[in-house]
Amino acid sequence: MKIVLQNLTQIFPSRNKKGEEVVAVNDFSYEVPDGKLVALLGPSGCGKSTTLYMISGLQKPTAGKIFFGDDDVTELSPENRGVGLVFQNYALYPHMTVKQNILFPLQNMKGKDRLTKEQMLERAYEAARLVQIDELMDRKPSELSGGQQQRVAIARALVKMPRVLLLDEPLSNLDARLRLQTREEIRRIQRETGITTVFVTHDQEEAMSISDMIVVMKAGVMQQSGKPQEVYDDPTNLFVAKFLGTPPINVFRGTVKDETLYIGEDAVMKVKGIADADVYVGIRPEGFIVDPNGTLHCKLTSVEVMGRDVSIVSKNDAMVSPTIRSIVDADTAIDTASETVTFSLKPHKVFLFSAETEERLYPEVE
Ligand code: ATP
């Protein structure tokens, strides 16, 4: 079931006379493809939860429309949309067992949808098996780990066989190891069920690792959408470039003069078709090659060996980032006693942005 979001806008009124209204989501249009897992990604306050709540029906949009398949669901209540919701805090009923928690949504179904007791149990065990907690059905939530509680919450969301699964920061309360494990689980469950899923997170690594598509948001406005690798390789503006990637992209102040890009005094590369202007230069950590004959000269701070790779930390007067971090192969010969390090650059890992608008500038490919 595809989800179509058409010009969705959510404006919250001001709380006092002087205050300004909050435009939490601004003219957001996107189509979540059938059976895919899409992450809404962005910093705190960018409007991703509000977007999810509008899809769920918990919040009514100020303007715009929402379709599930060809059905306009904009005016439907959450119960009538067929959505499964999972939140950051698992919101399980503490006095009920795992089984009772999972059964609860089925027991509340009315009319023709109502199942027999046997059918309910069958569905509850099916959902529990899917998230691998069928051994824990008689425990209370307090007797489970955080990861197990989150699985119960997912089983409870899936038991009604929703048309759409919506997850709001479902991994935030888990420790680092469980986060990794649970995110793999969510991916597996999503693949097995083929259920169209929207996942909200501020963690770019999480979004990149499990999503078919990501949608990057800032201040209520969609910045870019696409497959994770495509967005990483081809960011549309400085915000998206900085938001994706660990270690983050290295940003420098630069100048373009006569189709040559300068970082400080260093003429680092040709940029055909770019007019003379001040720019930001973003270089991915993997975009540097240690090269004594290279074009970019930096002051060497430290060299950190990380097994397969080496991380070179350096400085440059034109840098905007606090340090420059480049990742090179462990076999690379580096003179650690030297005070300087010189790099040549991989052109496809170097991005130019207008210093004025922070939008990407695209040199002509020769
Ligand atoms: P976080 O990751 O911190 O949850 P988010 O990207 O999910 O952030 P939202 O919760 O969607 O962001 O909030 C978007 C903006 O709307 C924020 O500025 C927030 O303060 C504001 N906002 C959210 N809910 C309301 C509300 N009920 N009334 C007024 N303003 C709200």
**pLDDT, tens only, 60-75:** 999 999 999 999 999 9
Tell me which residue has its CA closest to atom 19 in ligand 1.
45
Q: According to the model, what pLDDT value does residue 186 have? A: 87
Q: According to the model, what pLDDT value does residue 167 have? A: 93
Ligand 1 atom nearest 51 alpha carbon: 11
Using pLDDT thresholds of 50, 70 and 90, give the confidence band for residue 262: very high
Taken in order 361, 341, 336, 319, the sign of the CA dihedral is negative
Q: Is the pLDDT of residue 91 over 90?
A: no
342 alpha carbon – ligand 1 mean position (Å): 45
The chain-wide mean pLDDT, for the chain, equals: 92
As a whole number, mean pLDDT of residues 86-108 equals 89
As a whole number, mean pLDDT of residues 275-297 equals 97
Check if the beta carbon of residue 22 is closer than 8 Å to that of residue 12: yes
Q: Is the pLDDT of residue 90 over 70?
A: no
Q: What are phi and psi of 214, to 5 degrees?
A: -120, 150
Site to substitute for ligand 1 among 8, 11, 12, 243, most atoms within 8 A of C-beta: 12
Q: According to the model, what pLDDT value does residue 135 have? A: 92
Share of the chain above pLDDT 70, in %: 99
Helix, strand, or coil (residue 336)? coil
Q: According to the model, what pLDDT value does residue 44 have? A: 92
**Ligand 1 neighbours (beta carbon < 6 A):** 12, 22, 24, 42, 44-50, 202
What is the token pair recorded at 323?
């340090």
Lowest mean pLDDT among 88-92, 211-215, 249-253, 323-327: 88-92
Q: Is the pLDDT of residue 205 over 70?
A: yes
Check if the beta carbon of residue 5 is closer than 8 Å to that of residue 55: yes
CA distances from 113 to 80, 106, 108, 109, 136 (A): 12, 9, 10, 6, 27
Ligand 1 atom nearest 50 alpha carbon: 11
Using omega within 30 degrees of 0 as the cis cutoff, is the peptide bond preceding 247 cis? yes
Pairing of strands 250-257, 260-263: antiparallel
Phi-psi region of 205 (alpha: psi -120 to 50; beta: other; left: phi over 0): alpha
Between 168 and 109, whose confidence is greater?
168
Helix locations, 235-352, DSSP H: 238-243
61 alpha carbon – ligand 1 mean position (Å): 14
Lowest mean pLDDT among 78-82, 249-253, 258-262, 287-291: 78-82
Share of the chain above pLDDT 90, in %: 73
Tell me which residue has its CA closest to atom 27 in ligand 1.
12
48 alpha carbon – ligand 1 mean position (Å): 8
Q: According to the model, what pLDDT value does residue 178 have? A: 78
**pLDDT, tens only, 124-179:** 998 898 888 889 999 999 999 888 898 899 899 888 889 999 999 988 877 787 78
Using pLDDT thresholds of 50, 70 and 90, give the confidence band for residue 267: very high
Tell me which residue has its CA closest to atom 16 in ligand 1.
24
